[in-house]
């Protein structure tokens, strides 16, 4: 089957009576060179045998087919049940691929790795729907599953936020939270013409390299630390003190917040986007 031209894809989905869903943000890759490039990027640099891959959102299987050539086992998670019979046809003969009709936001990834991959080094590869990009990323990073890497395609602006550093305009709560779990590297952009239907934005492929137990900071109370991240960026136009006070209303009084900020050596009048992970950790320790 032709998975990489508009004509081929139209034929596949027409035969199945499939129509694109705005609900799932479906944009299928049709540029084979880009698909190859993404699949290559997903393979671990220091490859160990055997290796596995979790794919999120296979669509009609264009990327899945390339991943199956590079990994010993591929587990694909597709939420749209209408695509399952299509995938059964497009991936026919690829015995190392398993497709699950599930919602990636509800999957227990740690259990999946234990059950499906039996000690393999496992990477993640995904063309993420723009509307749930951050949620899926945090679900993966917070799952407790030890992934080798996550190679993810997303809207360019989201990728810029993930890769932003303290002090940059794009730096926010998702930047800080993701960088707590993994290092971020932008790989390459993908133009709208590489998709069907054509999106209105440029996409970017990034690689997240999880620290897996070697995080840059080690807070005493991780849950509080992550809440402080959210609190620091909850109201970006407010000073840090006011943003914290609004977020922790009824939990920490203003005097206690001021005391914690002073203890951490942070000016109460700054904005959250100036805080490094180390400073956020110091603040959460003071609050703890």
* Nearest to 95, CA basis, from 121, 117, 118, 72: 72
Assigned architecture for domain 6-210? 3-Layer(aba) Sandwich (3.40)
Cα separation, 208 vs 175, whole angstroms: 12
> b vs e for 52-76, b when ≥16 Cβ sit within 10 Å of the residue's Cβ?
bbbbbbbbbbbbbbbbbebbebbbb
Cα separation, 74 vs 217, whole angstroms: 33
* pLDDT value for 168: 92
User: Hey, what's the torsion of the CAs at 245, 251, 252, 253, to 10 degrees?
Assistant: 80
Cα separation, 214 vs 223, whole angstroms: 17
Cα separation, 88 vs 98, whole angstroms: 10
Interior angle at CA 104, CA 132 and CA 154, nearest 5: 40
Q: pLDDT per residue over 32-70, tens digit each?
A: 999 999 999 999 987 778 999 999 999 999 999 999 999
* pLDDT value for 67: 98
For the chain (288 residues), the mean pLDDT of every run of 10, in chain order, is 91 94 88 97 87 96 97 97 96 97 97 94 93 94 95 96 93 95 97 94 97 92 96 90 94 95 96 95 96
* pLDDT value for 217: 96
Conformational region of residue 270, where left means phi above 0, alpha means psi within -120 to 50, and beta covers everything else: beta
Q: Which fold has domain 222-287?
A: Helicase, Ruva Protein; domain 3 (1.10.8)
Q: pLDDT per residue over 173-205, tens digit each?
A: 999 999 999 999 999 999 999 999 999 999 999
Which residue is listed with tokens 């479906």? 26
The SS3 call for residue 74 is strand
Q: What are the extents of the domains in the chain?
A: 6-210, 222-287
Annotate 129-142 with DSSP letters as a single string: -GGGHHHHHHHHHH
């Amino acid at each position: 089957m032709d998975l990489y031209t508009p004509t081929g894809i139209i034929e596949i989905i027409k035969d199945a009576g499939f129509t694109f869903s705005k609900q799932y943000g479906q944009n299928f890759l049709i540029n084979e060179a880009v698909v190859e490039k993404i699949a290559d990027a997903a393979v671990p640099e220091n490859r160990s045998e055997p290796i596995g891959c979790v794919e999120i959102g296979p669509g009609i299987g264009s990327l899945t087919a390339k991943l199956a050539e590079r990994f010993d086992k591929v587990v694909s998670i597709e939420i749209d049940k209408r695509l399952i019979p299509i995938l059964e046809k497009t991936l026919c003969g690829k015995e190392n691929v398993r497709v699950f009709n599930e919602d990636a936001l509800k999957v227990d990834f740690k259990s999946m790795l234990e059950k499906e991959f039996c000690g393999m080094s496992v990477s993640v590869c995904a063309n993420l729907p723009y509307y749930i990009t951050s949620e899926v990323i945090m679900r993966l990073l917070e799952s407790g599953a030890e992934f080798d890497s996550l190679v993810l395609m997303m809207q360019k602006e989201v990728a810029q936020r993930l890769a932003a550093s303290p002090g940059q305009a794009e730096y926010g709560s998702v930047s800080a939270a993701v960088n707590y779990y993994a290092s971020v590297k932008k790989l390459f952009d993908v133009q709208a013409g590489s998709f069907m239907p054509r999106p209105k934005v440029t996409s970017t492929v990034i690689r997240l390299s999880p620290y897996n137990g070697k995080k840059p900071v080690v807070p005493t109370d991780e849950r509080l630390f992550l809440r402080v991240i959210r609190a620091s960026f909850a109201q970006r136009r407010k000073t840090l003190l006011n943003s914290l006070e609004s977020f922790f209303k009824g939990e920490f009084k203003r005097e206690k917040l001021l005391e914690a900020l002073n203890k951490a050596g942070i000016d109460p009048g700054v904005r959250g986007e100036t805080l490094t992970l180390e400073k956020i950790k110091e603040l959460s320790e003071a609050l703890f």
